[in-house]
Amino acid sequence: VAIRANSFLNFHLASLPSKLWRRFTRSGRPHPDNYGEFHLRRIETAPYGGLLLPIAAVRKVSPPNKEFVLYSDDHDYSLRLMDAGVAIYLTDVGCINDAEESWDKPSTSARSALVSPDAPAWRLYYACRNRILIEKRYTTSPVAYRINRMSYVGILAIEAMLAYRNLNGARKALRPLLEAIADGDAQRLGWRTEYQLPGASPSSTASAH
């Protein structure tokens, strides 16, 4: 979950060669001989899954921000814990079994989940908007950030055109992303009626958090 400075939706031009190498060689898989060894590493952000906190740490910061609605509120929460002086460590000796598979997990297709017809628009919007807000904390060079953003959006636009074969289809596929970028830049959080969560309403979402 580490975020590289000036990246956009986890895309950074400097990381592209190594990502392509891992994708085609599968060298990123952990070696079986490494299992069982104890590793402990300090990290800045952490997902809720497997996050253990003493009550003293919980009392240091306000609860997770319900205005995120969905996604990245755990990253924001752990960053605020770090700002309050709480150190978070990652260990690889624990096994976490997630109840559900990630919606944007890699598939046999090389196409990004951000332009996939199988990805619901509400997932795309909240995932991108909230991730953009988190990544802005790591922006050290506005120029480098903008270059990465333009490059990645350009790649996604090409993928969308190749996938849908027409401008209207590509525009519809990219709409959640483009609206997420606009709201992320404006730091607009909260519920959007155009992207309703299945079986939820703004009031029920707020109470669930």
C-alpha distances (whole Å) from 167 to each of 52, 68, 156, 204 are 47, 31, 13, 37
Segment 6-60, tens digit of pLDDT: 999 999 999 888 777 776 776 555 555 555 566 888 888 888 888 899 999 999 9
Closest CA to 146 of 6, 2, 1: 6
Helix axes 121-135, 167-185, angle to 10 degrees: 40
- DSSP letters, 119-183, are S-HHHHHHHHHHHHHHHGGG-S-HHHHHHHHHHHHHHHHHHHHHHHSSHHHHHHHHHHHHHHHHH
What was the pLDDT predicted at 43? 86
pLDDT digits (tens, 9 = 90+) for 58-88: 999 999 999 999 999 999 999 999 999 999 9
**DSSP structure class, residue 40:** E
Name the pTM for this structure.
Answer: 0.81
Angle, vertex CA 18, rays to CA 26 and CA 110, nearest 5 = 60
DSSP string, 49-92: TT----HHHHTTSPPP-GGG-SSSHHHHHHHHHHHTT--EEEES
Chain centroid offset of residue 86 CA: 22
pLDDT at 163 over 90: no
Percent of the chain at pLDDT > 70 equals 82
What is the band of 207 on the pLDDT scale with cuts at 50, 70, 90? very low
Distances in Å between the alpha carbon of 133 and those of 9, 88, 126, 185, 193?
A: 10, 21, 11, 8, 20
Kindly state the tokens that stand for 168.
């209207």
Residue 204 has pLDDT above 80, yes or no: no
Q: Beta partners for 8?
A: 11
